[in-house]
Chain A
Amino acid sequence: MPEWNELRARLNHDLVKNRLIPGTTRMIRIVSGSVLADPLETFDSTIATVWTETSPSLQLLFDTCESALSPRKYFLVEPLVHCPPSTMEWLPDIIHELWLERHDIPGWCSTGKLLVEELDTAVPNARNLLELNNGISQTVDLVEIFLDLQKRTTNLSIHLSLIERKSLL
């Protein structure tokens, strides 16, 4: 359980909050003309490579959430490991069901996967548009694209924060 939460917190803090979101801010400044830098080079180093690294880990995070966080695991360790077999027959399953329902774990996972899928599409799309606009004066469209990308990464970060351990009992 702690390992999963550690991975979630690390992905959110180190990659999404500290690299992707600031990366989109920098791109907005570049495509709006307030900062002078190579847009494609900056995009590749601040967003594309980071997302390539983050996306599979996030997929794994959402895929393993249910098994990693389920309170059913408490029956494998002290003190609930001592529950008699007659209790083990029903209580772990019921506790798991209650937990899924109470916190809408499947909903949280599917929303998370959707956010990742959308970014999987949005990141290469943004790159394609940058390539098309290379050398041409910057357009409002590009600013919109990066504002949208910033909104999506921010939403992903908020979503990852929703499942803090304290709310999982």
Chain B
Amino acid sequence: MSNKNKILIIDSTTNRREELCKLWSVDLGYDVVFSAGVDLFNFHDDTEVTLSDLINSPPIACLLHQNDKRRYDDPERRKLLDSCRRVVVFGGAGISGRGDWPDQWFWIPRAISGKASANYRQWKQLADWFSSESPLPADKIDLLSRLNEPRFLIAIHILCQGFVVGDRLRERLPTAVEQTHNRKWWCVPLVESVGDSLINTVQNEWGPDMPESLAILVKWISGETGYENIDLPRIVPAVKQEIENRLSK
């Protein structure tokens, strides 16, 4: 029997799964068992593994793509995933916040498209963390702490820049003025990601003392009652400046 650490990789996208399996097997020295959805296979020789065998000798970790999360609904598979020491959910387009998965699961909150999504050091750090008996807290692991980047503040800053530029370049970008003054333009990228919790997400990224201008803009984007009519040409440049000051601290 192999003394290597074992990992289970569940991903129904073939290319990405193969890249990840190769990375964990060849580069990181793990025994890899993979599943495209239903059946389980050893990566090194493509032999099938039974679910019961794997439950009896569970992997120390499981990497699970967010689109394959429904596999957890099956009671037998749930038993298998629950037997893994750590489960990390990852997503092709990035995951913005914690999903409806068990509290003890971790997630990589930004785009993970395959092996090249992170550098070797970051993958190695995750691999060592999986196998460690006295591991560092998850927020010390680069791939798991991507959550800390103020992505929504950056996104709002970029959208503010678009608004200001759209107004300035009316001739070059004739449709931009109309687009950027429309709530849908702001709402689609931001609200699509977090739904009702946009204000909380932005507040968390900002920390204490969030400026009123930013709060007003976010409430307008979220469609909050009482914020239907705001003075965008006045508020947007102010928000842009506030975010620049905040992010350059």
Contacts and interface: CB of A to CB of B under 8 A. Distances in A.
Interface of A: 2-3, 6, 71, 74, 76-84, 86-87, 90-91, 94-95, 98, 166-167, 169
B95 interface: yes
18 contacts: A2-B142, A78-B151, A79-B194, A80-B189, A81-B111, A82-B189, A82-B190, A84-B188, A86-B175, A94-B162, A94-B173, A95-B161, A98-B161, A98-B165, A166-B247, A167-B248, A169-B243, A169-B248
Interface string B74-99: 00000000000000000001111000
Interface of B: 93-96, 109-111, 119, 142, 151-152, 154-155, 157-159, 161-162, 165, 169, 173, 175-176, 179, 185, 188-190, 192-194, 243-244, 247-249
B93, B158, B173: residue with the most chain A Cβ atoms closer than 10 Å: B158
A81 B189 contact: yes
B205 to A, nearest CB: 11
Contacts of A79: 96, 151-152, 155, 189-190, 192-194
Contacts of A83: 188-189
B95 A78 contact: yes
Contact of B158 (A2, A76, A91, A167): A91
Nearest to A72: B158
A81 B155 CA distance: 10
Interface of A: prevailing SS: helix
A2 B109 CA distance: 15
A166 B176 CA distance: 28
Given A74-B158, A84-B188, A94-B165, A3 B119 contact: yes
B35 to A, nearest CB: 26
Contact of A78 (B96, B243, B248): B96
Contact of A80 (B158, B165, B169): B158
A82 B248 CA distance: 26
Given A79-B96, A79-B190, A95 B162 contact: yes
Contacts of A169: 154, 157, 243-244, 247-248
Contacts of A6: 119
A77 B158 contact: no
Nearest to B176: A90
The residue in B151, B169, B188, B189 that gathers the most chain A C-beta atoms within 10 A of its C-beta is B189
Given A87-B185, A98-B165, A77 B151 contact: yes
A87 B93 contact: no
Sorted nearest first, the 3 A-B pairs with minimum C-beta distance are A79-B193, A78-B94, A82-B192
Contacts of B190: 79, 82
Given A83-B188, A95-B161, A77 B247 contact: no
Contacts of A3: 119
B198 to A, nearest CB: 9
A84 B173 CA distance: 16
A79 B193 CA distance: 6
Contacts of B249: 166
Contacts of B110: 77-78
Between A91, A95, A166, the greatest number of chain B beta carbons within 10 A of the residue's beta carbon is seen for A91
A6 B188 CA distance: 32
Contacts of B193: 78-79, 82
